[in-house]
Amino acid sequence: MLSNIPSHYYVIGSTIMAILMGSFVMVIRMRASKKPTNEKKIIIPPIAMSSGALMFLFEQFRVPPMQILEASAVGMVFSTILIATSKFEVKGQDIYLKRSKAFVFILIGLLVFRVVAKMILSSSIDVGELAGMFWILAFAMLVPWRIAMLVQFIKVKKTIPLKNL
């Protein structure tokens, strides 16, 4: 049934979904900066995203080893940008993720990069394989970023004096 659908429709559909999800992430990140953060809020996104690895159970999403390395390397390079712009601040006894003016532009830039790369690569790489590559890229970007955030959060948390009981 799905094999009868031309691949360019998959590219268009996944591009629309990427734009919607990217917009959703931006809204969530803006709201999150208004509330205190904690270790759980930092750790959950990569754990939740890891369920996406189940796509690799299906043959059409499997990625050759060289492309795994390429997608991982690009993701790790992009994570450095996110790490550099993610800072925490203490307000009273709470720790907040400091709102970065650059963050929205970085997310938009990453989204544009993803859409353009998908349009270019979809002519030479199978759509399912491309989906797997972009998942690897996103995961390789998210994990180092969140680990760096957690390390930074723990350092900041140690600086907060205990409440007087």
Task: Retrieve residue 70's tokens.
Answer: 């390429």
What DSSP letter does each residue of 110-153 carry, written as one string? HHHHHHHHHHHHTTTS-HHHHHHHHHHHHHHHHHHHHHHHHHHH
Neighbouring residues of 106: CB distance < 8 A, sequence distance ≥ 6: 81, 82, 85
Q: Spell out the per-residue pLDDT of the chain, length 165, in tens.
A: 556 766 677 777 777 887 888 788 778 777 777 889 999 999 999 999 999 999 999 998 999 999 999 999 999 999 999 899 889 999 988 999 887 778 778 878 888 888 888 778 877 888 889 889 999 999 999 999 999 999 999 999 999 887 644
**Global pTM value:** 0.81
Q: State the Cα–Cα distance between residues 115 and 111, nearest whole angstrom.
A: 6
- 101 to 87, 96, 105: CA distances (angstroms): 12, 15, 8
> Would you state the pLDDT for residue 111?
80
